[in-house]
Amino acid sequence: MSETAYLSFIEQTLHYFSRPHEGAIQHPVQCSAAWKGSEIPPLEELAYRLPEEEIAEVRAAVRAAEALGRPARELTAADFPLPLLSERIAQWRDELTGGLGLQVIRGLPVEAWSQQQAELFFWCFGLHFGRPGEQNPDGHLLGHVIDTGADRDGEVVRLYKTAANIDYHCDAADVVGLLCLHKAKRGGQSRIVSSVSVFNELLSRRPELAARLFEPLLLDIRDREVNEAGGSLPIQPCCYADGVLRTFYHADYFRSVVRHDDVPPLTKLEQDLLDTYEAIATEPGMYLDMDLQPGDIQLLSNHSILHARTDYQDHEDPAKRRHLLRLWLSL
């Protein structure tokens, strides 16, 4: 891997997909990550609210990093001292890798920060949590989830640049983090579901479909930065080793791959798999909706959780429009 504080897009992708695999399984997976939305407490109870002393520590760290006058990508965790929060961050990391696979932190003073200061904080927070990585071949390290006016019906549009509904998917990094700066006028909830629980339900209802998850499916590659038309890539959705089920799933990209001339139509089994998998994931009681507030951080494991987003109506005032910062982290 590179010696920089962050990983290249290729390095991060290879790290994420280097998932150990012992073979397909025909039994349910029992673990903390196999939760159902109906079992999870409300966000107000689930979230960790930063106390005043930790907020003060974060403010001081932002000032210290600013005083260095260096670009964020040149900073290290040592340049952003968090002595109080360091132990807490280690606990959150353990929760993502061996617990529910999610963590919400509440109370960051984003209303008092400029956008540049919020970006500086989130980047440096990521340095403490893991190793940030590029989110596309252009080398973007900190994503801006905001409606840019992009055509939601475009063939290769990235839907996070629109206000449209986004179906269940994972990102190609161990952890995805969001920091909410502004929320939408209406809608825009973050919807998450345990991919372990979805697998268990699928196995109990349609074992022949669950078995297909351990064989490659073609994934649409939509990055025009790679080439003008994109392409396809075979990806095995599920890997199992040492009692751990790791899942990569992307509803839209598994379906849209057939736009390529050299890709055959989905088979009846593959179509049934996608339809049934997503139907289970959207059943009441399976998923959890989160209405993230300004100053909230959401951290999700891309190995055990799928995330989606409801469509939304935004504010007319550009300064108030829904805006989240996004980090991809490798552990």
Element of type H or E holding 95? helix 85-98
Question: Does residue 292 contact residue 190 with C-beta atoms inside 8 Å?
Answer: yes
- Residue 150 has a pLDDT of 64
Q: Is residue 77 within 8 Å of residue 124, measured between CB atoms? A: yes
Sign of the alpha-carbon torsion through 130, 84, 116, 186: positive
Closest by Cα among 127, 141, 29, 133 to 85: 127
Would you state the pLDDT for residue 180? Answer: 98
Domain positions in the chain? 9-330
Burial string for 242-277 (b: 16+ CB within 10 Å, else e) reads eebbbbbbbbebbbbbeeeeeeeebeeebeebbebb
Distance, CA of 7 to CA of 171 (rounded, Å): 15
Q: Residue 185: which of 318, 3, 47 has the closest Cα? A: 318
pLDDT for residue 264: 95
The Cα 278–Cα 92 span in angstroms is 28
Within the chain, which residues score under 50 in pLDDT?
Answer: 225-227
Fold of domain 9-330: Double-stranded beta-helix (3.60.130)
Distance CA(236)–CA(268), nearest Å, equals 18
Separate counts of helices (H) and strands (E) for the chain: 9, 17
217 phi and psi, to 5 degrees? Answer: -115, 150
